[in-house]
Amino acid sequence: MTDVAAQDWHDAVVAARAEGYDWFDWLGCVDEIGVSDELRVVLSLRRLDDPGRPELLLQCRVPRPEPRLASVRDVFAGAAWHEREAAEELGVEFVGGDPRPLLLDGAGTTPLRKDEVLAGRTAEPWPGAKEPGEGDAGAGTTGAASPSRRRMVPPGVPAPEVWGDRDPAAPPPDPAEVAASVSGGRVRRRGR
């Protein structure tokens, strides 16, 4: 994987295409919270004249507070959809790219960022029964959850002390604190 500075992103993609990597495979983005305060954008290119050659992976890290990167849709038209997805799901701004949303219709959230609270999961019962006895009594289960079993917190919902039951006078939680608490599978504490 080749690291590219944000200011050199577009030029690096143009250079890779000139070197024969003329097949755009995919572009994705990863939230690096907990490791660094960055989002990592990765681009995969291939050579059609040498199919056995490994793909070329270019990666660029952009700061989470203002993730901005030059669009490469003028180099590879297929990158436009991938850039729109990364913009909508993780909040990366691709300068010169297509600003139209794909699915969320300008909802103002970035659902794939690890510090984004999936509030809908806190309001609705978790549909995936993981243990015997979880779920509705009439939905093929043997009744209410057994007393020895405790309800699990669904993935994407932070611990109550980090998000829901937080002191209103306290400052907002640190994004890394929220991200660390949303791994899911934790036991929901009673009395909250």
Which CATH number fits the domain that encloses residue 48? 3.30.460.80
Q: At 132, give phi and psi (nearest 5°).
A: -60, 135
pLDDT of amino acid 165:
67
pLDDT of amino acid 168:
76
pLDDT of amino acid 154:
63
Residues 17 and 59 in one domain: yes
Q: Which residues of the chain fall short of a pLDDT of 50?
A: 137-146, 185, 187-192
Residues 9 and 37 in one domain: yes
- Could you tell me if residue 47 is inside a domain? yes
Residues 71 and 154 in one domain: no
pLDDT of amino acid 167:
75
- Could you tell me if residue 104 is inside a domain? no
pLDDT of amino acid 19:
96
Residues 119 and 183 in one domain: yes
pLDDT of amino acid 28:
96
pLDDT of amino acid 188:
47
pLDDT of amino acid 95:
97
Q: How far is CA 88 from CA 101, 139, 191, in A?
A: 6, 36, 37
Residues 6 and 88 in one domain: yes
Question: Angle 86-88-89 (CA atoms, 0-180°, nearest 5)?
Answer: 65
Residues 64 and 137 in one domain: no
Residues 160 and 192 in one domain: yes
Question: Do the beta carbons of residue 154 and residue 129 sit within 8 Å?
Answer: no
Number of domains in the chain: 2
pLDDT of amino acid 108:
76
Question: Do the beta carbons of residue 102 and residue 40 sit within 8 Å?
Answer: no
- Could you tell me if residue 102 is inside a domain? no
Residues 66 and 132 in one domain: no
Question: Do the beta carbons of residue 60 and residue 41 sit within 8 Å?
Answer: yes
Residues 91 and 21 in one domain: yes
- Could you tell me if residue 52 is inside a domain? yes
- Could you tell me if residue 108 is inside a domain? no
Domain that holds residue 58: 2-95
Q: What is the pLDDT of residues 144-160, one digit of tens each?
A: 444 555 556 666 677 76
Residues 130 and 175 in one domain: yes
